[in-house]
Amino acid sequence: MIRRTLLLSSLSLALASTFSFAAEQKELVIGTSAGPYADQVKLGIKPILEKQGYKVKVVEFNDYIQPNFALAEGALDANAFQHIVYLTKFASDNKLALSELIKVPTAPIAIYSKKHTSLAEVKEGATVALPNDPTNQARALVLLEQLGWIKLRANYDPIRVSDKDVADNIKKIKLIPLEAAQLPRSLQDTDFSFINGNFALASGLKLTEALAAEKISPTYQNLVAIRTADKGKPWVKDLEAAYRSREFLDVTNKHFAGFAKPDYQQALQSASK
């Protein structure tokens, strides 16, 4: 009887220790795409969390597939590289229990040129490169319509619109779909190229050099994703608070000029004026 009591006592202590460790998790692994979103964590988020006693490791990925699998499997605690459209479809297709935590400053897709200094220089037959993946191509086509270069069919879906939805090629431009990562190189051969912000920055372009940039809607703002089961945990609340902080806003203003700020940063900046 005494041995059984001691055994139960030992098990209770072990379980209590396990639950305490889980509740007080202080080591975080955050996955990001290589480039500005990794820099946001390293320059802005990691220092804030480390002041609170966390140990933060940043893991960079060169693809958009592995970060979500790594998160779902527990190799990561959070990731930051995607928008809600991508997260929702990827999680649904692969049956992963992942959720959005918070939006982050996002580099817009924009149009650049090595041959022209103004969009007004567009001529009939001009070559325009744009991403060949459905989500980013839709963003480029919407911006082309806003520029008045094309007319899309009535009642188009801005998230799913494709080149098949071009009802009128007003400027008679030649659209050249390319893999997003190859678009910076296309500037040597095209009149204009649409380039995602992260690839533009990685190639040495400045967001402020763009001839025009999209006004990013919340749909296309990048976000921090977590496992759905982790919602409400103390470290999750601390991670979200770090993004919402004045310190991170200051880092955004200093190091990420041209990035579209999420609503909470816009509100914080307006309140401080």
Residue-range domains of the chain with CATH? 25-106+219-271 (3.40.190.10), 110-215 (3.40.190.10)
CA distance to 22, 26, 38, 163, 237, per residue, from 234 (Å) = 10, 10, 23, 46, 5
- Cα–Cα dist 105/257, whole Å: 10
106 sits in which H/E element: none
Cβ atoms within 10 Å of 175's Cβ, excluding its own: 18
Strand partners of residue 115: none
Per residue in 216-239, pLDDT tens? 889 889 999 999 999 999 999 999
pLDDT for 79: 98
Question: Looking at the predicted structure, is the pLDDT value of residue 272 above 90?
Answer: no
- Cα–Cα dist 263/44, whole Å: 18
- Cα–Cα dist 273/269, whole Å: 7
Average pLDDT score over the chain: 91
pLDDT for 17: 46
Chain position carrying tokens 């401080």: 272
Per residue in 108-139, pLDDT tens? 999 999 999 999 999 999 999 999 998 899 99
Question: Looking at the predicted structure, is the pLDDT value of residue 22 above 60?
Answer: no
Which is nearest to 80 in space by CA: 238, 261, 217, 226? 226
- Token pair belonging to 124: 């009939």
72 sits in which H/E element: helix 66-73
pLDDT for 23: 53
Per residue in 160-193, pLDDT tens? 899 999 999 999 999 999 999 899 999 999 999 9
Are the C-beta atoms of residues 186 and 176 closer than 8 Å to each other? yes
At 258, the amino acid letter reads G
CA distance to 59, 96, 151, 171, 211, per residue, from 121 (Å) = 43, 47, 19, 11, 11
pLDDT for 249: 98
pLDDT for 21: 45
